[in-house]
Amino acid sequence: MATYAAPVPQIVAHRAEREQKGFMSWLTTTDHKRIGIMYLVLTFVFFILGGTEALMIRLQLGAPDNTLVSPQTYNQLFTMHGTTMVFLFVVPVWAGFANYFLPLMIGARDMAFPRLNALSFWLLAAGGLVFYASIFWNPPEAGWTSYTPLSNAFFSPGGGQDAWIYLVHLTGLSSIVGAINFYVTVANMRAKGMSWGRLPLFIWAILTYSVLIIVAMPVIAAAVTMLLTDRHFGTHFFDPTAGGSSLLWQNLFWFFGHPEVYIMVLPAFGMVSEILPVFARKPIFGYKAIAISTTAIGFLGFLVWVHHMFSTPIPEAVIIFAALSSFCIAVPTGVKIFNWLGTLWQGAIEFKVPLMYCAGFIVLFLIGGISGVFLAVFPVDWQLNETYFVVAHIHFVLVGGAVMPVFGAIYYWFPKITGRMLGETLGKWSFWLMFVGVLATFLIQHVIGLEGMPRRVYEYENVHNLALYNLISTIGAFILAAGVGVTIVNVMRSLKKGAVAGPDPWKANTLEWFTPSPPPQNNFDVVPVVRSVEPMKDIRREIELGSGAVVPAGATVPAGATQVGL
Amino acid sequence: MSHLAPTLLAFFTPRSGGSPNANEIDSLYKIVLYLAIVIFVGVVGVLCYALYKFRARRGRVAQQIHGNTRLELGWTAGAVGILVIIAIAMFLKLGAIVNPPDSGATGITLGADGESGRLYASATRHLPPNGKSLEITVVGRQFIWQYIYPGGAGDGLGAPYSFEEMVVPTETTVTLNVVSDDVVHSWWIPELGGKLQAVPGYHNYGWFKISKPGVYKGQCANICGRGHARMIATVRALPPAQFEEWLATQKRELSESEAAAASERAKLDAQRGTAQVENP
């Protein structure tokens, strides 16, 4: 009779792998945190480029009948500005944050497909490179919407338009690959106990963002492919003189273009839903309502694209449908705002910089949301579309609704990424300059549009006080830029000189704060079991109760005690 | 002080005053504006109050509330209610915005001889109740607007036309048929109502009716290339008698120059001996 020895518990010692260093290690990395950092740095470079283009636009419009730049250059500037901010900044910056923090927040050790993850970053870099290379030849000049026939080979013979097409292809592919990766990771690699109802709200937003990308991006990919073959291979998809339809472009573009807006702002909403409870020191108000409204906005976002086409020759029934579905979208959006107010209500609000950006976001996004209701009322839209009123609307939504939370996220997560705090004083300066800058730049643009100034004009006559209003807007843009500059200085200083953050400087709620700052390559030596939507708060409470069940890695260990390997 | 309120209101509202549709859009806009002000002030007020009242300070403990289903259902219903009000206002105003009225008694005589006014029946266009309007075709073209007035032969050739400045009679319903010759443009005179995109291959229809003689200015509103900012449009409204006079002059001058050009062509052809050659 064979005898079996009882298994002996044993500790297997691995040689600690040396941390990879040097240029090549970054080029070849598949670590989600390094890829996330590269995403954030690259998208910020594009943010600065797009911002510089915006300042040149505002300089040209600072005075009536200005001749600072030529009409051609002006058209190139607004085309580059819009394309850069949408395709190379706001969409991928969320992919950057999600890359770094999604695995950490769900208690995973990396993304599901680390090499696909690297691919999505390098596709983005390639798209940006192809697009910006065009400035040495013929930058595109048909606007970021590239309506045909203006963007066809006859009216835009330059290669810049093709560079734009490849940019859309490459960044689109990058986004799709990334989105699949996010979805698969969340679906399969959540910590034990993290059911769908305990998913952080930022992760809900990234899930919805991923679904929107997977559905919308192939449509724009098809559209730009048709444009490419129209331009070079003799097809006539959009050519009305040969049986094609130029309205088809508008339909395809906006079928992608409107969900794209939510691709840009939903992660921002998720970010705000993470930050507010931490600094109000109380749970998010109505977790379910916020998660449901996120998915509802994502779904409704596919039904409203015609509201970008109210003044085109389309049947009234279609227009009315688009107007009413746009109204519907205002409901879940309003619900979110009310829930955020509910989160602050009865809290103990700490005025740290991330909280300030989120509070500023609520005001600015509210303005953008309300002006959106004006534009959904289609007879009113007939007066306001294609004017500076719309320019004001999209900037309140994108700068107020997405860029402010991006900055909130920077201040909130910088300590986790670098292990150091950003300066509070500089942060507050940056916030106030940006907040005032956005209001000064874009509030007056509503009036500019109401007075009849269309968008995308390189010059205007000084009627109805347009010179004064435009000057105010230009000054505002420089205030906004100064605010951005202060944060850049803050980041540069704090990388070396910032106060050491420790694992959990904000006393936050989610799992990324369980691991040291910056996190080790494997993220977690042990992944705690999740029992609520606020696992870190549970862990802190247990420690405070002295149960000593789980000690966060890197937390101070009482003198005399030995660190127990978990 | 009494002048300040209307000035301030004009600052926050779209341009109007040229045509009934623009005025109706303006009043619909104001309904939305008043609701918007209430909502904005309410939300920002609550936000500021919460930020001040519930700021962290000694002894302040945050209430650990997770939600309140009744309250949440309440504000969802509130948001729906506001949007229903806006939708009702929109549908109430819609008729007056899209349906052109009949011309006034002092407008030009329409539809007697095909000289002015054409009858149309189409699902996508609106005509005055009596079916009579002055139909002007607006052609968008890089970077100038062309206007073709009624009065050509059956095939529309020989109709009087003008560039950049459209001349119309007052008290007369003008219907527009907006088309494009090249890229997408957008016809817009703020005081005369909303935009009409000129999309190649499509017809877009609209209308206006001016009561005061005067000049109304606008410009192309959709990016159409490097000359977009200079694609100006004006509408000059004249009393009907002067309009008829202008139209007659325009026709006479056009036919005179056509005739002059024809005789020049004949002369050149005779010189080159090609007069007998048929058109290929």
Determine how β-strand B185-187 pairs with β-strand B173-180.
Answer: unpaired
Rounded mean pLDDT of B270-278? 65
User: Does the distance separating the beta carbons of A363 and B44 come in below 8 Å?
Assistant: yes
Is B144 within 8 Å of chain A by CB? no
Cα–Cα dist A368/A376, whole Å: 12
Contacts of A244 in chain B (CB under 8 A): 201
Hunting for tokens 């559905």 — which residue is that?
A215
Check residue A546 and give its pLDDT: 76
What is the pLDDT at residue A359?
A: 97
Of the pLDDT bands very low, low, confident and very high (cuts 50, 70, 90), residue B3 is low
- The residue type of B194 is G
Residue among A288, A363, A380 whose CB faces B47 most closely: A363
Chain B contacts of A382, Cβ < 8 Å? 25, 193-195
Chain A residues whose beta carbon lies within 8 Å of the beta carbon of residue B47: 341, 344, 359, 362-363
Domain B6-56+66-98 has CATH 1.10.287.90: yes
Q: For residue A464, what is the DSSP state?
A: T
Query: Which residues in chain B touch residue A293, judged by CB atoms under 8 angstroms apart?
Result: none
Point out the residue among B46, B72, B202 whose CB comes nearest to the CB of A289: B72
Assign B206 to helix, strand or coil: strand
For residue B5, pLDDT beyond 70 = no
Position A519 scores a pLDDT of 94
**Torsion B247-B251-B254-B260 (CA) sign:** negative
pLDDT at residue B279 above 60? no
The Cα–Cα gap between A304 and A246 comes to 19
Q: What is the residue extent of each domain of chain B?
A: 6-56+66-98, 134-265
Within 8 A by CB and 6+ apart from A221, the residues are A168, A169, A172, A173
Q: Indicate the SS3 state at residue B85.
A: helix
Task: With CB atoms and an 8 Å threshold, state whether B199 touches A72.
Answer: no
Q: In the prediction, which pLDDT does B41 show?
A: 97
Q: Give the per-residue pLDDT at B272.
A: 81
Q: Which residues of A400-423 are buried (b: 16+ CB within 10 A; e: fewer)?
A: bbbbbbbbbbbbbbbbbbbbbbbb
pLDDT the model gives residue A428? 97
Structure confidence at residue B74 (pLDDT): 94
Query: In whole angstroms, how far apart are CA A247 and each of A268, B198, B249?
Result: 32, 11, 39
Who among A143, A282, A366 is closest to B43 (CB)? A366
φ/ψ of residue B158, rounded to 5: 80, 5
CB under 8 A, 24+ apart: contacts of A23-32: A28/A118, A29/A118, A30/A110, A30/A114, A30/A115, A30/A117, A30/A118, A31/A110, A31/A114, A31/A521, A32/A99, A32/A100, A32/A102, A32/A103, A32/A110, A32/A111, A32/A114, A32/A117
Give the pairing type, strands B232-238 and B165-169. parallel
- Give the whole-angstrom CA distance, residue A566 versus residue A545: 20
Token match 């907006």: residue? Answer: B178
Classified as helix, coil or strand, A383 is: helix
What the block records as the tokens of B78 is: 């509130």
Residue of B40, B43, B186 lying closest to A311 (CB–CB): B186
Candidate from A244, A245, A380 with C-beta closest to B29: A380
Chain B residues touching residue A383 (CB < 8 angstroms): 14-15, 22, 25, 29, 190, 193-195
Judging contacts by C-beta atoms under 8 Å, the chain A residues touching residue B186 are: 311, 386, 454
Which residue ranges of chain A lie beneath pLDDT 70?
1-18, 547-566
Q: Mind listing the pLDDT tens digit for each residue in B224-267?
A: 999 999 999 999 999 999 999 999 999 889 888 888 998 999 89
pLDDT tens-place string over residues B79-132: 999 999 999 999 999 999 999 998 888 888 765 444 444 444 344 678 888 888
CATH code of the domain made up of B134-265: 2.60.40.420
Tell me if residue A95 falls in helix, strand or coil.
helix
| Residue B222 in contact with partner chain A when CB distance is under 8 A | yes
* B-chain residues near A341 (CB < 8 A): 43, 46-47, 50
Distance, in Å, from the CA atom of A265 to the CA atom of A365, rounded to the nearest integer, reads 10
A377 contacts B64? CB cut-off 8 A: no
Spans of all domains in chain A? 29-544
CB-nearest to B32 from A284, A374, A447 is A374
Q: Is B92 on the interface with A (CB under 8 A)?
A: no
**How far, in Å, CA of B204 to CA of B222, rounded?**
14
The string of pLDDT tens digits covering residues A211-266 is 999 999 999 999 999 999 999 999 999 998 888 999 999 999 999 999 999 999 99
Are A505 and A420 contacting, i.e. CB atoms less than 8 angstroms apart?
Answer: no
Best B15, B228, B232, B235 residue to mutate vs chain A (most A CBs within 10 Å)? B228
| Candidates B8, B73, B97, B183, partner chain A, best to mutate (most A CBs within 10 A) | B183
Closest-CA distance of chain B to residue A145, Å: 10
Q: Which residues of A are catalytic?
A: 81, 110, 144, 174-175, 258, 260, 262, 273, 307-308, 333, 336, 455
Closest residue in chain B to residue A382, using alpha carbons only: B194
Partners of A349 in the β-ladder: B55
| pLDDT for res B280 | 45
Rounded to an integer, the average pLDDT of B213-217 is: 95
Question: Is the CB of residue A158 less than 8 Å away from at least one CB of chain B?
Answer: no
Residues of chain A numbered 449-508 and touching chain B (CB < 8 Å): 450-452, 454-460, 463
Closest partner CB to A379 (pick from B11, B56, B94): B94
CB-CB under 8 Å, B15 with A381: no
* B105 Cα to chain A: minimum distance (Å): 28
Interface check for B96 against chain A (CB to CB < 8 A): the answer is no
Could you confirm whether domain A29-544 is CATH 1.20.210.10? yes
For chain A, positions 131-150, list CB contacts with chain B under 8 A: 141-143, 147, 149-150
Q: What is the pLDDT of residue A17?
A: 65
- Touching check for B88 and chain A: CB below 8 Å? no
- CB within 8 Å: B80 and A331: yes
pTM summary value: 0.91
What's the confidence (pLDDT) of residue A265?
96
